[in-house]
Structure 1
């Protein structure tokens, strides 16, 4: 049953009040994966240009894309083999026991709670500019977006997935319009290569362009890696929809594979075209809204507000889909007793985890309010620095744990039914572990990232202390737990 833990077997009514509804097919899953990431193609990635220049950012994107291919294919193998809504927690529970499952779930929880808080902060700044509201109104924008999108996720899984598909297609359509519009205005040598290294090694503008592909050398490319992560971060949430997928054993690997292919194509197009128009790499590296600034160059400032609305669609898509993710993530850990069981209740008619969704949104909103109270006018620096970087750090740690689970499952459970097998096998998992570790290392070289890492570690220690004192004595035989324990029993029989 797992060392030092106690389980309780619940009656039928417990699970009847915690049922989910199957609805999602391949393209709904594809939209869920792409939609969660797509805001990173609108903004965030561009800050890496200041670390490594265009060539450095290109190399960083290539390396990070390889990491995510390894990750998604490892997850694509595990998800249909363990088709539960627990996702990363479920994989780690079967591979590393209750302690490993809880720790992995806790790490992923940190990522999925903070990422939408960062997204809604910048989304509300867009709205403030468009509608010219006072800075004091920002908390009302935050509250409004959290309320609307939490309700959308509660109303029903069909509506939620339809909205996900619509927003994802709209966001990709916005990017497509930008790509098509910018091709005729590109001058790669003049604009993309307009960064040089200053006397202190920081990025400076090079008028007229024609600079080096790698103005900060190869180290600059490595330093740009944490920013390239934003072009792919959160696609790993897809297995959380396993129990709402019509056929997770067939559809989950396809959704993950089609999703990462879509994101790789989009990532390289936006990197090439956004930097190659008259705006230039240097101006882009200092921009908070790179896609919007690109649209303004192409279409002029006269329709800036309309363009800002267009540019906000990517943020809306990611905000909506990651709210879905944290709802299912909290639900799965609660259903198994790791979190208080009230958080796994689902709506009697709509079969959505309303308590988990409400709590996740309340925590995100509270984090923003506390940040505003403590940081004041420096809120944007803190959200764009510490909170954003906590999400990246927890994601990298989660990838190491998930790929570690993949390797352990290959080793300890070779006879586990695997409807899909990763074509990259153990090499793909080890590559992901190595590259995620490198990204954490370069995060620790930057002071703002270092602060984020220490905040994350503090949260994880508190969670582990809670589990050690209370949580491990209150576990429940949920589908993830029963599956893991059945295979542990089979392994023990084989050994004897």
Structure 2
């Protein structure tokens, strides 16, 4: 990479940092309960989608990230493939999912965890707790690279420690109390399970491109991105599969909830250190059991916080690049003296706070509905953006065949088309399944009722759920158009899309050229 401006972002992220960022971005602890709530079949679909989506997704991003390692990642790829307007709209969908997710499911799971293990938060205290959570994430993202790099490292360590403690405790619990009986038939995949599980499993697998979005802060993105993707992919699969299986082995199916499933499983296994599970399933923790539970709860909250932070580190930089490139207001494409996109970070924090306040107010205390609407919207916004991002892969293969590709998707054009079809197809199915839960159920004379697949908190309220998804999507589309209109003056100063990409700086933009 060469730069024509000394204010280019400082490169302080190395392989360990990229790996930690990947683990924080991919291993989202807020969705473990959602998969477990669907029973052992969830593990089967995790394996299937791991093969049909996670693997081709990782291969695709490894090639894009090493061939086009420019600051902004997905925005750069879609711009080079489809032009500024398409890339600008796409980037707004990609960026906005983070504050929605942070102010939505991450915040509510963190609050629920605190209330479960520490102390109830009545009335205004819940809003205050949400503000502290979101504010902490905003400060972490705003930190210079030299300091901010430790946030995903802390998050990765918290995940390993939390899930390691859970697994050890699970083994002791199994020896003392036995496990829930599971038969081979419980793992059998069904179409109904596919419709219900695809969105949340796919969301669990998202995040491979986050280090590429912050490529301007890497020491050697061409080498570091592919290596970190391989390690991060394997680590993520283990960190997801083990706790979900453990949850299924500890709790009866009727006690599993999408919001609190993993939290409840932690409480149950920690009784081995002090406490007991009553006949009605109520968990009572005492002594060391209560202490370990509090430590695990703190680790879970740190894990949730760093999930949002890791995504924000990449997404804010990508949005700042888009704004500096004329796809948004130019003033949002300016960074501070540390190379941090401070202005877009502030906007993201404010949006997250607004989402938190609105959701808590509109849900009228129905935390499950708040969680469901927030996580569904975050998934759908991300999936919509991925439709174009994944499509850019095959387009760039055709438009820039001579660009050096340190890593290539194997099996030539057949492998490239297979990876594209699988990833784009999965995203299209995810969006449809989110907008219309129960997609295909009961159609053409088959058994089942689509109404039975409405998310928790929206039973019997399909119109309300659909509105909670389509209205925000329409508003995001309008926001993308407004951003693009506000970048008109900047676009007049820039050349047509090429391999020369502007990146944000404290003096405007710099030219960043992949070599």
Q: TM-score range by the shorter chain?
A: 0.7 to 0.9
Deviates more, 1:387-396 or 1:290-299: 290-299
Q: CA deviation at 1:102?
A: 1.1
Cα distance 1:263–1:386, how it changes in 2: closer, same or farther (>3 A)?
A: same
* Cross-structure match for 1:148: 136
Q: CA deviation at 1:315?
A: 0.9
* Cross-structure match for 1:239: 212
Structure 2 residue 71 is matched with structure 1 residue 85? yes
Deviates more, 1:369-378 or 1:388-397: 369-378
Q: CA deviation at 1:49?
A: 4.5
Measured in 2, the distance between the counterparts of 1:472 and 1:382 equals 40
Structure 2 residue 435 is matched with structure 1 residue 444? yes
* Cross-structure match for 1:354: 342
* Cross-structure match for 2:259: 288
Gaps of 5+ in 1: 1-10, 194-209, 487-496
* Cross-structure match for 1:475: 491
- Looking at secondary structure, tell me which structure has more helix per residue: 1
Q: Deviation string for 1:406-450 (max 9, x for gaps)?
A: 011112222122121123432122111122222223223323763
Measured in 2, the distance between the counterparts of 1:404 and 1:251 equals 24
> Among 171, 176, 196, which residue is 1:223 paired with?
196
Report if the CA contact (8 A) 1:386-1:451 is conserved. Answer: no
- TM-score in terms of structure 2 length: 0.79
Measured in 2, the distance between the counterparts of 1:419 and 1:98 equals 26
Instruction: Give the alignment of 1:96-135 within 5 angstroms.
Output: 96-118=82-104, 119-129=106-116, 130-135=118-123
Structure 2 residue 402 is matched with structure 1 residue 415? yes
Number of equivalences = 449
Report if the CA contact (8 A) 2:36-2:244 is conserved. Answer: no
Instruction: Give the alignment of 1:344-493 within 5 angstroms.
Output: 344-348=333-337, 350-378=338-366, 380-423=367-410, 424-446=415-437, 447=462, 450-466=466-482, 469-475=485-491, 481-483=497-499
Cα distance 1:269–1:361, how it changes in 2: closer, same or farther (>3 A)?
A: same
Q: Deviation string for 1:348-373 (max 9, x for gaps)?
A: 2x221211211110111112112233
Cα distance 1:250–1:485, how it changes in 2: closer, same or farther (>3 A)?
A: closer
Gaps of 5+ in 2: 272-284, 438-461, 503-515
Aligned residue for 2:336, secondary structure, equals: coil
- TM-score in terms of structure 1 length: 0.82
Q: CA deviation at 1:185?
A: 4.1
Aligned residue for 1:235, secondary structure, equals: coil
Q: CA deviation at 1:85?
A: 1.8
Report if the CA contact (8 A) 1:34-1:235 is conserved. Answer: no
Measured in 1, the distance between the counterparts of 2:377 and 2:385 equals 12
Deviates more, 1:226-235 or 1:239-248: 226-235
Q: CA deviation at 1:160?
A: 0.8
> Among 229, 232, 255, which residue is 2:228 paired with?
255
Structure 2 residue 54 is matched with structure 1 residue 68? yes
Measured in 1, the distance between the counterparts of 2:497 and 2:11 equals 21
* Cross-structure match for 2:314: 325
Measured in 2, the distance between the counterparts of 1:480 and 1:354 equals 27
> Among 162, 171, 183, which residue is 1:183 paired with?
171
Report if the CA contact (8 A) 2:77-2:392 is conserved. Answer: yes
* Cross-structure match for 2:243: 270
Aligned residue for 1:420, secondary structure, equals: coil
Aligned residue for 2:403, secondary structure, equals: coil
Aligned residue for 1:213, secondary structure, equals: helix
Aligned residue for 1:85, secondary structure, equals: coil
Q: CA deviation at 1:254?
A: 1.3
Q: Deviation string for 1:356-395 (max 9, x for gaps)?
A: 21111011111211223333323x2443122211111122
